[in-house]
Amino acid sequence: MEPSGGAGMSQITSMLALSEQLGGTMLSPDHFAPVQMRITGGQGGSGGQGHSDGTGGRGGDGLGPTFNITAQAFNLHAVTGSEAVSQESQQGRLREAQIGIKCPLPSRKFQGRRDILDKMHDFFLSGPGNQKIYLLHGLGGAGKTQIALKFIKDSLSRFLEIFFVDTSTITTLTTGFKNIAIIKHFGDSHQDGLLWLASNVAEWLLVLDNADDPSINLHDWIPECDHGNIIITSRNPGLSLHAGSHSLVSDMEETDAVALLLKTAGQKATVYTEQIAAEIVKVLYYLPLAIVQAGAFILKSQNLGSYLDLYKENQTRLLREKPTQSNEHYVWTVYTTWEISFKQLRPRAAMLLQLCSCLHYNGITEEIFCYASRCKFKPSGPSEKEAVKFLSSFLGPTGEWDSLEFTFSMNEIQAYSLINFDEETKLFSIHPLVHAWGRATMDNPEDCMLIISNILGMAISKRPRWDHTLPSLVLVPHVELAEQSAIHSSLVFREHYALVFEEAGKYKQSARILEAVLGEYKQILSEDHPKKINAMNDLGITYQWLGHYQNAKDLAVSVLEKRKQIMGEDHIYTISAMNNLGITYQYLGDYQNAKDLQVSVLEKCKQIMGEDHTNTIWAMGNLGTTYQCLGDYQNAKDLGISVLEKCKQILGEDHPDTISAMSNLGITYQHLGDYQNVKDLDVSVLEKHKQILGEDHPDTISAMSNLGTTYQHLGDYQNAKDLQVSVLEKRKQILGEDHPDTISAMSNLGSTYYQLGDYQNAKDLQVSVLEKRKQILGEDHPDTISAMSNLGSTYYQLGDYQNAKDLQVSVLEKRKQILGEDHPNTVSAMNSLGNTYRHLGDYQNAKDLGISVLEKCKQILGEDHPDTISAMSNLGITYQHLGDYENAVNLAVSALEKHKQILGEDHPDTLGAMENLRAIYQDIQPLTVNYQAPKKRKREQVQEGGHHEEVGKRSCKRSCKEGAEQRQE
């Protein structure tokens, strides 16, 4: 077929396209003269004839259509003439394009990341027929690009074409897609590159690397089609909206990090080098780029062992220094890669990141800044003014906190992965190395630290009034960092820091701050200044928690006197001072004075604040604790039930004070002998405390102690022991060897050893407990007397009846004098002394005491209380020794039936009651079978029923939280 000479522009257009496809040499319409073009058919084969359109030719030599082009004057724009580009230049341009989008190989030192690689393989193999986009996002230097390259290397056979585009700027993006168009001979623009990808239905893979600029809308650079595969690497987690799947690239696993360090450092893997490497990667927080830099330095210095010390002294220099020799493609150091991102932030976001770098790197909340913005005061110094100015930038037109503005700034920082957000906990966090970089590179770190210290103090002062404990737990690391900096905010704000420490159970830190603050106030304020009195009050409460009861009392008495004089009897602060003094009396064992004050406090709270005010509820709880100490368990129970109901209604089921109310009621049930209900409460309390306060909060440890005591009452001595060993270890570590709660833990463990028959270990602990209590609490403190009683019981089991008697006589006298004749602990002391008289052969005195004990137990505790049943059993044994078998049998049978009914068939006390009855029958009618002496010892061992003799009281200005102590009488 021969077209006419007037083919016109259609011929020219066809030839332009053909020129691009055949070699990329561009033809210009300006270089055409009239053109003639003839297309002839292919060479025919057997049975076929070629046709003018190029078809046919079956079986021929396979030559395709032949293009014959002639022109009167035909110029190639790159071949001839002054305007032509040389063919060599075109080839160079093609090579440049190919190099520009060539996919590099992964580092030869690549380690780990198997979980992410497996997820990527599964994703790209699934669901053919759809465009697949995978995002790798994370901090700069985390290894996102290396993971992408490793995936590509492992999947080369999967993809027909692979294109690697630098996505860091619009310029690099434009160049990258233009290069795709050039090497595919499809044009000379980035639009042509996108068009080629969109029109080429094949398994190509496009890597959009370093898509970190949040101002670039990546949607415009994703081919509009339903095919192809794309991997995006970015610091911006927000790009996940473009992706079908994504992975956060964070720190490496330790074993992979160690292997990477040793490879980079050129070190052989041995036990020694792996141990040192593990320490190094730990301080580098397992960040790949930091590990590679460290390895390069070690390779150069050839000293693995000294790197850790050098790093601790020169962290900033080492993380900023680029190795002179490197086979890695990444051109930035750890610190410079973050500095590049930081410079992209707007001023407010940059300031927010710097302030967050002065907080602890975990547990950063919006509430810190929100609450601080509500603190209205007249700033006095530059740092306070800066804090107020910064916070005001997040306020709306009405002066209220604008959460959206805060979110905008945080999103800006998150777009570079310089800060992370946990959707579940609603907490922000900063990678520890970014945190260190932020502090090391800011221009005025002291000014920044002072600003955030003021913001912290402002925030603490404006927390929700009745929900301090949980925010305090989050704030503790930030307050600790502020205190360690030695750059202190105002004294008032430091008092708020102390309150955070107290509520988090960190009493020593609280005391240190308050002692310093009070010392400052004494120098600058008058004797009766309210700030000074408040600091005295807070320090007195902290001394309570520390077990410094006499110091607490001295401060509490002084505060109460001053507040009465200045504010009057019925001011809320005066009532609070009365409450605190009452609690201190309780700790000191002065239960009657404690009761008198607490009754007055409760009446005033009801009258002034109302029945349902939280202060009224806490006053009820504190009085209930004192009723426990006085042995008035019914009143304690009534108050405890009321407190728990009100706390649930007002504060909610899971509020820390509601949980404490549950714990307190459980202690009362223990005293009343209702152990199964107690166990259910104790288990629930412990679970809630662990979940809300953490494993090591003092209240959690007290809950463990209480559950251990309940296990002991239920006869589950091994579980009791396991819990009590843990409690003792934690209290030694957190509170110290000589804290009253630590001593109570020793006492409880000693009692469990006693129940397990390990009398020597019981004795060793109880001797230590008695010595410490005499020294710390004094000879006549109820807890000291309890220690004497427990040691006396252990002497009894060891057969040292004379020492047992001496201690028990002293205990009984002191309890009659201090607690009164009818206090349950006094009755218990009578019971123990009666048992010892019996073993000494003084059966008449044993009988007299036994009868008195049984009558008092029935009257005070009721017929079915475990201690009443034990008193029946003990009196029955005494009747047995006196030969009064009728009374002995009657009491023993009754005791056995009640034990079965209340404690169960398998409880040790039930088994002991069975043995007691058998022994009586044996005395009445001796058996011919061998009788095992150890069983008689068993009977005597369990004949005294144990119960909670004392309460390790944990009262405070908010609520009372006790850790119960047990005894073995």
pLDDT in tens, 832-859: 999 999 989 999 999 999 999 999 999 9
Dist CA 765 CA 752 (whole Å): 11
- Per-residue pLDDT, 463: 78
- Per-residue pLDDT, 557: 97
Dist CA 520 CA 536 (whole Å): 12
- Per-residue pLDDT, 338: 82
Mean of per-residue pLDDT scores for the chain = 81
- Per-residue pLDDT, 88: 55
User: Collapsing DSSP states into helix, strand and coil, what is residue 442?
Assistant: coil
Is residue 437 over pLDDT 60? Answer: yes
Dist CA 446 CA 908 (whole Å): 65
Which one of 93-102, 122-131, 834-843 scores highest in mean pLDDT? Answer: 834-843
Dist CA 292 CA 318 (whole Å): 12
Dist CA 100 CA 165 (whole Å): 8
Q: Which residues contact 549 (CB under 8 A, 6 or more apart)?
A: 543, 584, 587, 588, 740, 777
Q: How many CA atoms lie within 13 A of 274 on its CB side?
A: 7
Q: Which long-range contacts (CB under 8 A, 24 or more apart) does 655-661 make?
A: 655/467, 656/469, 656/470, 656/689, 656/692, 656/693, 656/699, 657/469, 657/614, 657/618, 657/958, 657/959, 659/685, 659/688, 659/689, 659/692, 659/699, 660/621, 660/699, 660/959, 660/960, 660/961, 661/621, 661/959
- Per-residue pLDDT, 960: 31
Is residue 30 over pLDDT 50? Answer: no
Residues 171-199 have pLDDT tens digits of 889 988 988 888 888 888 889 999 999 99
Is residue 331 over pLDDT 70? Answer: no
Q: Which two tokens stand for residue 120?
A: 């990527």
Q: Which residue has the higher pLDDT, 707 or 290?
A: 707
Dist CA 556 CA 577 (whole Å): 7
User: Using CB atoms within 10 A of its CB, is residue 922 exposed (0-12), middle (13-18) or buried (19+)?
Assistant: middle
Taking the whole predicted model, whether its pTM rises above 0.75 is answered as: no
Q: Is the dihedral of CA 77, 83, 84, 89 positive or negative?
A: negative
Dist CA 748 CA 765 (whole Å): 9
Nearest to 952 by CA among 944, 943, 960: 960
Confidence class for position 389, pLDDT limits 50, 70, 90: very high
Is residue 754 over pLDDT 70? Answer: yes
Query: Which residue stretches of 925-964 are H helix?
Result: 933-942
What share of the chain has pLDDT > 90, as a percent? 39
Residues 549-607 have pLDDT tens digits of 999 999 999 999 999 999 999 999 999 999 999 999 999 888 999 999 999 999 999 99
Confidence class for position 146, pLDDT limits 50, 70, 90: confident
Backbone angles phi, psi at 164, to 5 degrees: -120, 115
- Per-residue pLDDT, 515: 96
- Per-residue pLDDT, 100: 55
- Per-residue pLDDT, 323: 54
User: Collapsing DSSP states into helix, strand and coil, what is residue 843?
Assistant: helix
In whole angstroms, how far apart are CA 531 and each of 298, 489, 559?
57, 16, 12
Is residue 945 over pLDDT 90? Answer: no
Which one of 64-68, 83-87, 675-679, 959-963 scores highest in mean pLDDT? Answer: 675-679
* Residue appearing with tokens 């209930």: 624
Q: Which two tokens stand for residue 549?
A: 């009861």
Which one of 107-121, 470-484, 623-637 scores highest in mean pLDDT? Answer: 623-637
Q: Is the dihedral of CA 470, 475, 480, 486 positive or negative?
A: negative
Specify whether the CB–CB gap between 789 and 807 falls below 8 A.
Answer: yes
Specify whether the CB–CB gap between 372 and 387 falls below 8 A.
Answer: yes
Is residue 132 over pLDDT 60? Answer: yes
In whole angstroms, how far apart are CA 44 and each of 1, 63, 67, 511?
17, 9, 17, 104
Window from 44-58, 248-262, 645-659, 677-691 with minimum mean pLDDT: 44-58
Specify whether the CB–CB gap between 455 and 369 falls below 8 A.
Answer: yes
β-strands 427-429, 420-422 pairing: antiparallel
Query: Which residue stretches of 800-932 are H helix?
Result: 801-818, 824-839, 843-860, 866-882, 885-903, 908-924
Dist CA 28 CA 26 (whole Å): 7
Is residue 929 over pLDDT 60? Answer: no
Average pLDDT over residues 504-530: 92
Q: Which residue has the higher pLDDT, 832 or 143?
A: 832
Average pLDDT over residues 925-932: 44
Amino acid identity, position 247: S
Dist CA 73 CA 426 (whole Å): 75
Average pLDDT over residues 28-39: 38
What share of the chain has pLDDT > 70, as a percent? 82
* DSSP-assigned letters across all residues of 247-283: EE--PPPHHHHHHHHHHHHT----HHHHHHHHHHHHH
* DSSP-assigned letters across all residues of 291-336: HHHHHHHHHHHT-STTHHHHHHHSHHHHHHPPPSS---S----HHH
Confidence class for position 492, pLDDT limits 50, 70, 90: confident
- Per-residue pLDDT, 38: 40
- Per-residue pLDDT, 13: 39
- Per-residue pLDDT, 443: 81
Window from 61-70, 258-267, 334-343, 822-831 with minimum mean pLDDT: 61-70
Average pLDDT over residues 207-219: 88
Which one of 406-410, 906-910, 965-969 scores highest in mean pLDDT? Answer: 406-410
**C-beta atoms surrounding 105 within 10 Å:** 11
Dist CA 520 CA 499 (whole Å): 18
Nearest to 589 by CA among 823, 767, 771, 746: 823
Average pLDDT over residues 60-81: 36
